[in-house]
Amino acid sequence: MNDGARRPSGTEAPERHALAPDLARGLMLLIVALVHAHMFVGGSAAVIRGYPPVAGSPLDAWTAGLLTVLADSRSFPMFALLFGYGTGRILARERARGRDEPGARAVLRRRARWLLLFGFVHALLLFAGDVLGAYGLLGLVAVGLTGVPDRTLYTVAGVGVAMGAVLYGGTLAANASGDPGGTAAAMFLAADPATDAAYRVGTWMFTTPLFAVVSLGPFLIGARVARQRVLEEPGRHRAMLRRVALWGTALSVVGGLPLAMITSGTWTTAPSDVTLGLSVLHVLTGYAGGCGLAAAVALLALRLEGRRSGTVSAVAACGRRSLSCYVGQSVVWLVLFAPYTFGLGDRVGVFASALVALGTWCVGVLAAELLRRRNRPGPAEALLRKATRRAGKPPGVRGEERSSAADASRSPRH
C-alpha cells in the first residue's frame, strides 16, 4: 500500500493501493450520512429516541422503515470492523519494519490519544454523536487484544457483541419510550450555541465509553481478518466473502424488519418489553449486517479492480479521506439543522433528510476527488498525521511513521 518512494511533505503518492478498503470506507460514509441526518428531524426528539421519527407522510414512513432495515445500527459495526482492520494492517507493517511488539503498539496508542482529542473537539464544536473518541479509547485499551490467540480473541469479541447489543439496544429502547419534551431535548433545541456545545460535550462523555464497548467486537474481528489481508486480496478469499455477504445481509434484514414496523409507524402499540427485545435483536443482527456490507463491497471491488471508472475512483478517494469527509458531514449538520442556524430539523421530514444526506455525501466525494487529482490528503488526515509525527518517535523512522499515521487517519467512525 505504500511504495516507499520519497515525496514532498503534505502530498500523497499516486493511489495504487487496494481498492476494497477505500471503496468500503467511501460507501460506508453514505450510510453514516443517512443515519446521522435523520437524527435531527423534529429537533432533538430524534436524538433522544434514537430512531428515525415519522413526520406523518407515507414517504417518510417508508423511508424510516428502510433506514431501520438497511442503515441504522449497521454503519457502526462496519466502521468499527474497518478501523480494526486498519489497526491490524498497521501493526503488521510496523513489525515488518523491525519494530518489536511494544514499539508497534506504542505507535497506535500515540495515534489513539490524538483521536480521543479529535473526538472531544469534534463533539465540542460540531456533533454530539462523535465516535472518533470511542475509537481513540479502543486504540488505547484494546490494541493489546489484537495479538492474543484466536480462541481468546473470538471469545472477547463475542462477549463484546453481546454486551453491545444489550447496552445499545437497551439505550435505543429506553429512548424510544422517553419524553421528547424532557430536559435533554430542551437543551438540544436551545437557540444558544454555548448551551448546545455543553449538551454535546455531556453527551460525548457518556457515549464515548458506550460506543467503545459497542464497537469492540467488530474491531477485534477486523484486526483478526487483517492478518490474512482479506480486503487487499479479496480474490484469495472469495468463497468466504460470499458466505459472509449473503448470510450477514440476510440476518441483518430479517432482524431489522420487526423494529422497522415500529419506526415506520406500522406498529404503534408495541409494549415496552417487546420494544426492548426488538431493539436488542436489531443491534445484534446489525453486527452481521456490518460484516455483510464489508464483504459485499470487497466482492464488488474485486469485479471493479481492473476497470475503475471515474466514479469508483472518486468514491475510493473519499474513503482514503474518510476522516475529513466524516467531519465535513458534521459541519453540514450543524449549519443546516441547528436551531440557531438554518433550523431545517423542524421543517423537513425523514425523506427530505435522506436527500440532504445524499447530497452531502456527493459533495464530500467530489471534494475528495479534487484532492486526489492534486495528490493531496484530506485536511483532517494531514493534521492527525502531523500531530502523530510530532508526538515523539525514535530517529530514523520519520517516513515510516508518516505512512502509518496516514493509514490510521483513514478510519473515522460510526
Residues in the chain: 414
Q: What is the pLDDT of residues 153-186, one digit of tens each?
A: 999 999 999 999 999 998 877 765 544 433 333 3
Burial of 14 (0-12, 13-18, 19+ CB in 10 A): exposed
Q: What is the pLDDT of residues 184-241, one digit of tens each?
A: 333 344 568 888 899 899 989 999 999 999 999 999 999 999 988 998 889 999 999 9
Share of the chain above pLDDT 90, in %: 48
pLDDT band at 17 (very low <50, low <70, confident <90, very high): low
Could you give the CA distance from residue 172 to residue 275 in angstroms, rounded to a whole number? 9
Mean pLDDT of 342-352: 86
Check if the beta carbon of residue 43 is closer than 8 Å to that of residue 189.
Answer: yes
Over the range 206-221, which residues count as b (16 or more CB within 10 Å of their CB) and which as e? ebbeebbbbbbbbbbb
Over the range 273-304, which residues count as b (16 or more CB within 10 Å of their CB) and which as e? eebbbbbbbbbbbbbbbbbbbbbbbbbbbbeb
Residues 6+ apart with CB under 8 A from 399: 6
Q: Please report where in the chains the cell 514532498 appears, as a residue.
A: 8
pLDDT band at 57 (very low <50, low <70, confident <90, very high): confident
Check if the beta carbon of residue 133 is closer than 8 Å to that of residue 208.
Answer: yes
Could you give the CA distance from residue 294 to residue 292 in angstroms, rounded to a whole number? 5
pLDDT recorded at residue 93: 82
pLDDT recorded at residue 158: 95
Could you give the CA distance from residue 358 to residue 300 in angstroms, rounded to a whole number? 21
pLDDT recorded at residue 105: 81
Judged against a pLDDT cut of 80, whether residue 370 lies above it is answered with yes
Q: Residue 384's Cα: distance from chain center in Å? A: 17
Amino acid at 289: G
pLDDT band at 40 (very low <50, low <70, confident <90, very high): confident
pLDDT recorded at residue 208: 94
Of 173, 172, 159, 171, the closest CA to residue 213 belongs to 159
Judged against a pLDDT cut of 80, whether residue 8 lies above it is answered with no
Judged against a pLDDT cut of 70, whether residue 350 lies above it is answered with yes
Q: Which three cell numbers stand for residue 164?
A: 453491545
Q: Worst-scoring range by mean pLDDT, 230-234, 253-257, 325-329?
A: 230-234
Check if the beta carbon of residue 256 is closer than 8 Å to that of residue 202.
Answer: no
Question: What are the distances in angstroms from CA 27 to CA 17, 221, 321?
Answer: 17, 20, 12
Judged against a pLDDT cut of 60, whether residue 9 lies above it is answered with no
Question: What are the distances in angstroms from CA 281 to CA 1, 70, 273?
Answer: 38, 14, 12
In this structure, how many other beta carbons lie within 10 angstroms of the beta carbon of residue 65? Answer: 23
- Alpha helices (H) along 235-271: 238-263
pLDDT recorded at residue 191: 64
Q: Which three cell numbers stand for residue 268?
A: 404503534
Judged against a pLDDT cut of 60, whether residue 50 lies above it is answered with no
Max Cα–Cα distance, the chain, nearest Å? 65
Average pLDDT, the chain: 82
Q: Which three cell numbers stand for residue 94?
A: 510496523
Mean pLDDT of 142-159: 88
Q: Which three cell numbers stand for residue 316?
A: 475510493
pLDDT band at 349 (very low <50, low <70, confident <90, very high): confident
Could you give the CA distance from residue 383 to residue 10 in angstroms, rounded to a whole number? 10
Check if the beta carbon of residue 64 is closer than 8 Å to that of residue 206.
Answer: no
pLDDT band at 148 (very low <50, low <70, confident <90, very high): confident
Question: What are the distances in angstroms from CA 382 to CA 35, 215, 376, 405, 407?
Answer: 27, 25, 9, 9, 11
Selection from 259-268, 324-333, 336-345 with the highest mean pLDDT: 324-333
Q: Which long-range contacts (CB under 8 A, 24 or more apart) does 46-51 make?
A: 47/128, 47/129, 47/185, 47/188, 48/175, 48/178, 48/180, 48/182, 48/184, 48/185, 48/188, 49/175, 49/176, 49/178, 49/180, 50/171, 50/172, 50/175, 50/176, 51/172, 51/175, 51/176, 51/262, 51/263
| Cα dihedral sign, 66-69-70-71 | positive
Q: What is the pLDDT of residues 298-319, one digit of tens each?
A: 999 998 877 778 899 999 999 9
Identify which has the larger pLDDT, 342 or 16.
Answer: 342
pLDDT band at 56 (very low <50, low <70, confident <90, very high): low
pLDDT recorded at residue 10: 39
